[in-house]
Structure 1
Amino acid sequence: METLKEWISYLYDAQKLKDLIIYGSYPALMAIVFAETGLLVGFFLPGDSLLVTAGILAGQKLLNAPLLMILLSIAAIIGDTVGYSIGYRTGPVIFTRPKSLLFDPEHINRAHRFYEKYGGKTIILARFLPLIRTFAPVVAGVGKMNYPKFLSYNIFGGIGWVVSMISVGYFLGSIPGVDKYLHLIIILVIVISFIPGVTEYIREKKKSGVKNEKNS
């Protein structure tokens, strides 16, 4: 338990995250992106801030931006494919899986509601939404979404997410002295990334409240 907390805090510490990216290089980045998008237990991983930070380092010529975009796009696409496979093989029973330290049924239920609202486009939109990003491909698999259709959304969304986040970081990395504000940038990225999800959650609560009033 303590080890997990230490690992999570490590990923959300600006300097430690930077060190991880520099010393772990491309393999570590690919592993984290894959885990967040392909493993149910990867929902806590900081995909957006990781990509932006990697982009900043690429802007400082510590990493190769084109190679970074290619490798991490591949990792993201493979991750979603694995998530789809998990959902396809597991089926609806996954919605009744008990809550544990690394799994909360509410996360996958939220992704399910999002999928019901936006359909296949969820695979693209979810790339920019923490938590939903991890569980959207699983829900698509459970729903037996046509795989060629899923793959096209997966490729488009994966490349779009990786390239856009790294590009933002690359631009910031070209600004002199940006390292002094790295922790603030990471906090800002995390806050911005959660705004759409929080907004959607508030809308759901309002709608359910209105329905309850009508039924009472």
Structure 2
Amino acid sequence: MIFEYIAGAIVGGMGYGGYTALFILMALESMIAPIPSEIVMPFAGFLVVQGKFSLMAVALVAALGSVFGSLISYWLGVFGGRRFILRFGNYLLLDESHLQWTENFFRRYGEKTIFISRFIPVVRHLISIPAGIGNMRVGRFIAYTFFGALIWNTFLAWVGMKLKERWEIVHIYSSQIDYVMVGLLAVFLAWFVYKHFKKSSA
């Protein structure tokens, strides 16, 4: 029922608003709104097949929308997240040392983290705020968000083009895709921990 409502709203919005609606939907998706790209982008791919959109424009507009929404979350982290932790962090067992750790992490691994997160469910919606809290360089944040989003969104649109009228089944199998992505993330984290401890013991 919820899926049908969301899918109906997306289909209606994009059918009426075109590229503007696509930009807004992908921006909202990057701001923790319950708008899955697994619905938006396959339908955009279907519209490409119908001749209403072009794949290049869909990929670019969607990626720019993702960057715009992510930037809003990023700046919330920069201006709101740090102040919140410094003021109320003691209630959450957080202090300035945790801010320093976050800064060090994004200074060393920010690019990889932001890029990979674009392929991971839930993570891609949340990672921008910690990146802002960690004071990741905004230029690099934009670049890696853009290219990660460009690849993921283009892939989903391409799948929608291949499925045509059956584009909605992407959502049915999206959980399996999510499991694969989470598994890849787990492998990456295991490699990261192994490498980190190997350096520490050397």
Name the TM-score, length of structure 1 as normaliser: 0.65
Q: Which residue is equivalent to 2:169? A: 184
Aligned length, in residue pairs: 173
Q: Which residue is equivalent to 1:172? A: 163
Contact 2:39 2:168 in 1 (8 A): no
TM-aligned CA deviation for residue 62 of structure 1: 3.0
Q: Which residue is equivalent to 1:72? A: 62
**1:1-216 residue pairs with structure 2 within 5 A?**
9-11=4-6, 13=7, 17-37=10-30, 39=31, 41-42=32-33, 44-92=34-82, 93=84, 119-173=110-164, 179=165, 181-197=166-182
Other structure's SS at 2:118 match? helix
Give ranges in structure 2 of 5+ residues lacking alignment.
Answer: 90-101, 190-202
115-124 vs 153-162, which moves further: 115-124
1:68 and 1:131 mapped to 2: Cα distance?
22
Q: Which residue is equivalent to 2:192? A: none
Contact 2:26 2:62 in 1 (8 A): yes
- Sequence identity of aligned pairs in percent? 23
TM-aligned CA deviation for residue 194 of structure 1: 4.8
Give ranges in structure 1 of 5+ residues lacking alignment.
Answer: 98-111, 174-178, 205-216
2:85 and 2:20 mapped to 1: Cα distance?
30
Contact 2:75 2:132 in 1 (8 A): yes
TM-aligned CA deviation for residue 133 of structure 1: 0.9
Contact 1:33 1:47 in 2 (8 A): yes
1:200 and 1:25 mapped to 2: Cα distance?
34
